[in-house]
Structures are given as C-alpha cells and as structure tokens.
Amino acid sequence: MDELRAELPALTTDRLVLRPPQESDIDAVYAACQDPEIQRWTVVPSPYRREDAEFFVRDLAIEGRRTGANLIWCVFERESGALVGSQGLVLRPQDPGCAEIGWWAVKEFRGRGYTTEAARAVSHYGLRELGLRRLEWLAYVGNDGSRAVAEKAGYRFEGTLRSYAEQRGAFHDSWIASLLPSDLA
C-alpha cells in the first residue's frame, strides 16, 4: 500500500484513460457535477459549486492518495480527451481487504459503455494490483443505471440494505453487490 500513497497509476482501456484528477480538470468536473442526476444519486454537494470541484481535485483526491484510503481517477475518452466520468475506490480501515467502488458519468457520455469499461479497469486494479479480497458496489435503491453498470462489470447482486447509505443528512435503502478475485475472467 505504500507505493500507492506515492503515486496512483494511470489506467488505460481500449477507449479510455483513467488518471488522478489534476488542476486542469476542475472546470470539467464542475460542469459535469451540475447534472441533477449526479447530485441525485451520489454524495456530491448539491448545489455543486466551483469550490466543490476545487476541493475534489486539490484536497479529496490528493489526501486520499496520500493516506491510501480514497483512490480517485478522472476518466477521459482517449480519442477526444473529454472527461467522461470519475471512478473511485474507498478502502475500509476496519477491513483492509475490502473497498467500495463508486462512479459517476458525464451526461453526454452515458449509454456508451464507458462507465462499465472504466469500472472493470478499476476493479481489476483493486483486486489484482492492490490484492483486495472483495470489492463492494453500493447505490441508492432506484439507481438503475449504476446497477446495470455494476452487473455488466461482473458484480454479483447481494441484496438491499435498509436505511443504510447517508446522503445530505438522510438515510436511503441501498443495493449492494460484490466482486471477488475469483469472479474475474
């Protein structure tokens, strides 16, 4: 895990480049997170201000890398260089072999399989490179788009956790699915 703290590697797929957020991404992150659907289904602040994008890039991503607790990638289309989303792994101090995966997708790039492609890359990194024994995907009940991505990425649905996930002071029922090293093709 110490090598992780020093540098989070870029990941590449056929169509995407995933790399840690950097200063030049602030405007694109800010624009993407104006989408009401991202605010509805994630824990990003609502309303989402430019200061929130600055915090995401300058503080959350850097501190997460430094501690190894919150690993964040911005996802870019290889061909155009456009931001298509974000992927993250939140490692659990109480269970170092387990992490939660999460993502959001820029509205204009949804439905093209990019989020699934990125989720597979991050999942493989977590299970193979970091040696995690389990990845968990959680989403508020009703987030059918995220659930479809999780299923296409190989996550196995495990159930519904009642009043589980907090978002801006309210608790929501959440779906949970997992991916284990043995699930990887």
Residue 4 is predicted with a pLDDT of: 42
2-132: CATH topology = Aminopeptidase (3.40.630)
Q: Is the pLDDT of residue 176 over 80?
A: yes
Q: CB–CB of 102/67 below 8 Å?
A: no
Structure-block tokens of residue 84: 């298509």
* Residues facing residue 103 across a β-bridge: 87
* pLDDT single digits (tens) 122-142: 999 999 999 999 999 999 999
Alpha-carbon distance 40 to 140, whole Å? 9
Distance CA 114, CA 99 (A): 21
Distance CA 157, CA 155 (A): 6
Residues whose CB falls within 8 Å of the CB of residue 123, separated by 6 or more in sequence, listed in order: 101, 135, 153, 154, 179, 184
pTM: 0.93
Question: C-alpha distances in angstroms, 53 versus 74, 126, 136?
Answer: 12, 25, 25
Mean pLDDT, residues 99-113 taken together:
97
Delimit the domains of the chain by residue range: 2-132
Residue among 143, 127, 175 nearest 40 (CA)? 143
When pLDDT is averaged across residues 30-41 and rounded to a whole number, the result is 97
Rg, Å, the chain Cα set: 15
The pLDDT tens digits for 51-84 are 999 999 999 999 999 998 999 999 999 999 999 9
Instruction: For residue 124, give both structure tokens.
Output: 């493989």
Distance, in Å, from the CA atom of 178 to the CA atom of 137, rounded to the nearest integer, reads 6
At residue 3, does pLDDT exceed 50? no
Confidence check: pLDDT of 2 > 80: no
**Distance, CA of 68 to CA of 93 (rounded, Å):** 10
